[in-house]
C-alpha cells in the first residue's frame, strides 16, 4: 500500500507534441482515483509513466516516498490490468495468474495459496483449469484482475479494463471492481474515457484535456461545481446546455440575456457575478434542471421559458426532450408524465439555483472560487 505523487510531470515526443503537460497531483494511500477525458488527453500516458512503460520527459513520480523515475517496471511494486487483458492463450487460468509470481521465483506453496485465494474472491475458482478461449469476456476480465491481485502490489493500475465488455457486463464489472477496492484496501488508479464509469467508481476524479489537468475533485463537486467550461460539458449525460449571453441588471435585478430569452439570477448569488455586469458570458444549465412547467418540482428557483419541441425520447423513467426557440437548441430531461409532443410549443422551467456562468475568454466558472470557499467553511 502506498501513496502516489506526480510532481510536475511532462511527457514530450520528438515531434514537439506534449502528451502530458505539468501534471501535479497527489494520490493518497488506499484512494481510488480515476483519470478521465477524451481520447488523446494523456490519461493512459500518465498511467504508463507511473508503471514505467513510458519514459518521463521532466518531473518526478513517487510511489510512497521513493522516486521511481529510473526504477525498472518490475521493481515499482505496481500491477497493471490492460484493456486487452493480455492473457496467454496456451496457459490455463491458474498458469496465467501464477505466471508473474513464477518469474519472481516465489515458492510454489505461496503461489498456490495466493492463486486460490484470489480465484475464490473473484468467483472463478471453478475456472482454474480452463484456457482463455473457453471463457466469456467478463470471466477473462476477472482473470486479468486476479493475475494482478496475486502479486499483492502497493498500487493497482487499470487501463480501460471494461471497454471490451457489453453494456450489462460493464455495469456488473464496475460494481465488482469497486467492491474489490474496498476489500483489498489498496491504492487503485483507473483510466477511462467513460464519464459514467468515472463518476460511479472514483473517490476522486482527475479530468484531463489535451494533456493538461482541468480539475481533480470528488464526483459530487465535479458535477455541481465544475471549474471550467470543459469540465462542465464533459461531466454529465446528456451534457450541460450552453448559451452565449450577456449579464445585465435592471432595477436591482440581475439577469442573463441570451437574445432568445432572459432569466433572472437568484438574488442571493447576484453579488458573485457583479464584476461581469454588461459583459459577455456563457450561461450553462444541465438538462435535468429544465422541467416541464406542469411538473415543476417543489423547492426550486424557477425561471419560465417557452420553446418548441423538436424530438422526444421515451426512456421509461424519464423523457429526454430536444427543444428549440429562434434557432437556439437545448436538451431537457423531464418527468415521464410530461405531455411534450413533437411540433408543439411548451413552457419549461429552469432551476436557476443550479445555473452556471463562465467567462467567455478564460472559460473559467465565475462561481467556482466562491462555492469552493463556501464548501470549505461548511466542513
Q: Is 179 exposed, middle or buried (0-12, 13-18, 19+ CB in 10 A)?
A: exposed
In this structure, what CATH number is given to the domain that contains residue 172? 3.40.50.300
In a domain, 182, yes or no: yes
In a domain, 205, yes or no: yes
Q: Where are the beta strands (DSSP E) in 116-227?
A: 155-159, 187-192, 204-209, 212-217
In this structure, what CATH number is given to the domain that contains residue 289? 2.40.50.140
Domain with 151, as residue range(s), is 4-232
Average pLDDT (336-343) is 93
Contacts of 267 (CB under 8 A, 6+ apart): 253
Do 297 and 214 share a structural domain? no
Average pLDDT (327-345) is 94
Domain final position from 208, 232, 256: 232
The torsion angles phi and psi of 293, rounded to 5 degrees, stand at -60, -25
Q: Which helix (H) or strand (E) holds 49?
A: helix 43-51
Average pLDDT (274-293) is 96
Do 338 and 251 share a structural domain? yes
In a domain, 237, yes or no: no
Please give the tally of structural domains in the chain: 2
Domain final position from 232, 261, 284: 232
Contact 279, 246 (CB under 8 A): yes
pTM: predicted TM-score of the whole model, two decimal places: 0.89
Q: Where are the beta strands (DSSP E) in 251-289?
A: 253-257, 262-264, 280-285
Do 203 and 250 share a structural domain? no
In a domain, 328, yes or no: yes
Whole-number average pLDDT of the chain:
92
Do 270 and 173 share a structural domain? no
Tens-digit pLDDT profile for residues 134-181: 998 888 888 988 888 888 889 999 998 888 777 787 888 888 889 888
Q: What region, left, alpha or beta, does residue 318 occupy, with left being phi > 0 and alpha being psi -120 to 50 degrees?
A: beta
Tens-digit pLDDT profile for residues 24-68: 999 999 999 999 999 999 999 999 999 999 999 999 999 999 999
**pLDDT score of 336:** 94
Contacts of 303 (CB under 8 A, 6+ apart): 263, 264, 349, 350, 352
Residue 279 has pLDDT above 90, yes or no: yes
Do 341 and 278 share a structural domain? yes
Domain final position from 189, 209, 232: 232
Task: Please state, in angstroms and as integers, the Cα–Cα distance from residue 78 to each residue in 33, 118, 157, following that order.
Answer: 15, 17, 7
**pLDDT score of 1:** 65
Tens-digit pLDDT profile for residues 349-375: 999 999 999 999 999 999 999 888 888
Average pLDDT (305-314) is 96
Amino acid at each position: 500500500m502506498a501513496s502516489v505523487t506526480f510532481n510536475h510531470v511532462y511527457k514530450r515526443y520528438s515531434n514537439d507534441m506534449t502528451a502530458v503537460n505539468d501534471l501535479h497531483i497527489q494520490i493518497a494511500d488506499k484512494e481510488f482515483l480515476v483519470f478521465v477525458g477524451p481520447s488523446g488527453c494523456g490519461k493512459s500516458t500518465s498511467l504508463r509513466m507511473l508503471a514505467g512503460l513510458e519514459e518521463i520527459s521532466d518531473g518526478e513520480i513517487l510511489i510512497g516516498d521513493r522516486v521511481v523515475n529510473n526504477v525498472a517496471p518490475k521493481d515499482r511494486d505496481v500491477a497493471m490490468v490492460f484493456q486487452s487483458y493480455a492473457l496467454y492463450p496456451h496457459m490455463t487460468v491458474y498458469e496465467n495468474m501464477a505466471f508473474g509470481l513464477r518469474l519472481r521465483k516465489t515458492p510454489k506453496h505461496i503461489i498456490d495459496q495466493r492463486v486460490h485465494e484470489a480465484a475464490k474472491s473473484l468467483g472463478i475458482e471453478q475456472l482454474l483449469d480452463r484456457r482463455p478461449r473457453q471463457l466469456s469476456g467478463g470471466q477473462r476480465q476477472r482473470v486479468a484482475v486476479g493475475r494482478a491481485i496475486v502479486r499483492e502490489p502497493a498500487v493497482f493500475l487499470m487501463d480501460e479494463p471494461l471497454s471490451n465488455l457489453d453494456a450489462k457486463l460493464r455495469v456488473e464489472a464496475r460494481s465488482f471492481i469497486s467492491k474489490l477496492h474496498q476489500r483489498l484496501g489498496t491504492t487503485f488508479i483507473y483510466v477511462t474515457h467513460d464519464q459514467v464509469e468515472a463518476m460511479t467508481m472514483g473517490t476522486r476524479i482527475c479530468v484531463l484535456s489535451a494533456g493538461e489537468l482541468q480539475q481533480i475533485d470528488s464526483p459530487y463537486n465535479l458535477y455541481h461545481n465544475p471549474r471550467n467550461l470543459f469540465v462542465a460539458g464533459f461531466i454529465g449525460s446528456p451534457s450541460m446546455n450552453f448559451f452565449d449571453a450577456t449579464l445585465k441588471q435592471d432595477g436591482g435585478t440581475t439577469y442573463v440575456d441570451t437574445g432568445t430569452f432572459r432569466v433572472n439570477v437568484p438574488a442571493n448569488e447576484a453579488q458573485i457575478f457583479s464584476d461581469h455586469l454588461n459583459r459577455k458570458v456563457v450561461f450553462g444549465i444541465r438538462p435535468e434542471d429544465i422541467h416541464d412547467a406542469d411538473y415543476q418540482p417543489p423547492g426550486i428557483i424557477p425561471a419560465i421559458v417557452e420553446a418548441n419541441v423538436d424530438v422526444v425520447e421515451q426512456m421509461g423513467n424519464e423523457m429526454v426532450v430536444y427543444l428549440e426557440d429562434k434557432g437556439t437548441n437545448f436538451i431537457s430531461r423531464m418527468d415521464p408524465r410530461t405531455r411534450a409532443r413533437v411540433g408543439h410549443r411548451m413552457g419549461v422551467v429552469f432551476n436557476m439555483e443550479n445555473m452556471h456562468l463562465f467567462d467567455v475568454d478564460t472559460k473559467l466558472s465565475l462561481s467556482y472560487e466562491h462555492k469552493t470557499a463556501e464548501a470549505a467553511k461548511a466542513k
